[in-house]
Structure 1
Amino acid sequence: MPLIHIDLIEGRNEDQLRGLVKDVTAAVVKNTGAPAEHVHVVLNEMSKNHYSVAGTLKSDEK
């Protein structure tokens, strides 16, 4: 059972997230041979004030 965790900053709409999990599932099926019904995708959305790069919160970027 492939289990894929994707961490991303919040802000995508429902259609974008649907497309993401559909495409990721298809890639896992293609490259592993696992049946789609066994592929699990977990999306973890973070607010911009819970993620930083190089010591700067994404919420502080302009």
Structure 2
Amino acid sequence: MPLINIQMIKGRTLEQKRKLIETVTKAVCDSVNVSPEKVRIVITDLELENYSISGKLAIDKDN
């Protein structure tokens, strides 16, 4: 049973998450020949204060 973890910066809509789940599920099914019922996906929304880029918190990064 494939278990997929997706971490991304918070801010996506519910509809975007639905589309992501559908797309990833199909890709996993096609790639490893399993049925959609076997695929598990966990989405973790990251706050900018809990994510860093190049040694700096993303919340502090210059735009």
Q: Give the TM-score category using the shorter length.
A: over 0.9
Match of 1:4 in 2: 4
Query: Where do 4+ consecutive residues of structure 1 move more than 6 Å?
Result: none
Q: Provide the secondary structure at the position in 1 that maps to 2:23.
A: helix
Q: Provide the secondary structure at the position in 1 that maps to 2:31.
A: helix
CA distance in 2, matches of 1:46, 1:31: 28
Q: Which letter does structure 2 place at the counterpart of 1:25?
A: T
Match of 2:33 in 1: 33
The normalised TM-score by structure 1 is: 0.94
Residue identity over aligned pairs, in percent, reads 37
Where does the alignment leave 5 or more consecutive residues of structure 2 unmatched?
none
Shift of 1:60: 1.2
Match of 2:46 in 1: 46
Match of 1:13 in 2: 13
Q: Provide the secondary structure at the position in 2 that maps to 1:59.
A: helix
Where does the alignment leave 5 or more consecutive residues of structure 1 unmatched?
none
Q: Provide the secondary structure at the position in 2 that maps to 1:6.
A: strand
